[in-house]
Structure 1
């Protein structure tokens, strides 16, 4: 048994050494002129904002950046590809995409160098001033009379008796007037419930719940038409509600 124990110990030590060798250490060679850059207030409508971080190689050996990472896809990078000689300078360009990200942001960026053997960190921060996107970007279906919604089919899938399923339905009033929004169900299917907002102000956008509460067994697939009603007028295009029995 002793040779086996010895072998396990050796393997453990080798594995520990391997993990240690793979763990990067903080770079003493790469010195950035600034660690944090504040974009201040940026406008979402203006698109991507960028800043170039410059650094100096304070060591006696060449260094090179091989990767730059961040935890958010909203941050993109470019960096100097050639090795930076001793006392030479390099750069990292950080670009932030503010699309659909209103308000304050702070992003940490990890700069890996010399085949991931070393790392350092920089940050960008700022505040995004949002703008109102065109309604069709998030609400694909124009139902008429100013009403847009993001769905035209509500597929609840398989539903069994006494089971309740809910789908969130987004709506927008793209007109310059307030509207009254309700819904009418064709065929009187009482299992469909919707939290109709009723009064929707001009340019207002919101979200409601549509719930299917199955009170009796369904046979096969059941399709129900639900018509939006704007200012007491049923619109021409219905929502299709689909549920399937088990």
Structure 2
């Protein structure tokens, strides 16, 4: 093999290596930090970090990890082609967390920079603290949450099932109603889908998933947080939880009296 041919192969290898290294997606975020400022307690502070793929290959986000359970991330699940945009959403639950917060979400992808840290911060104000910053006219124009009923009875349910209770929420106030997190002593209630803002005078249906596993008659109080300055809404879920619905049905049938013919 001649020296010139060896040099040619070496040059070709260097070119290919350079091309392979440069053939990557690039996540160019508009910003990597967001300050919510003052956040009314009970609301879900939400921000979308938008980015553009300025590289020459598709970007695929593998995972987004929040620094705490109080922050729920979401992101663009499909590949982001070169020149297109995507987003990473951070949702901070302020319910029961008054005071200053500073949280991060870490984005992992196949981009040129495989790990990117985004940050959110703010100051959660209690409802009383929010009222002090508003005029009487602003308080009168605040949202107001009204439930169609305060109790839902699932009847007999099997442990491990996740039945859904549907409630109608109406905003009888004069500004957008923002529903926040659910809380209950059993930690067994959650939203099926994240509620959207409700306009003044409008109603919306919310679906609550019940995951109670304690056997026997149960009653659980649920608190719905929101930006309603008059206070949080309360409702009650009831059920008779059995180990196996089919087994209970068979026991009932076996215990019935069958007359002789």
Which category describes the TM-score, using the shorter chain as reference length? 0.3 to 0.5
Which is richer in strand? 1
Larger Rg: 1
Which is richer in helix? 2
What TM-score comes out, normalization by structure 1 length? 0.40
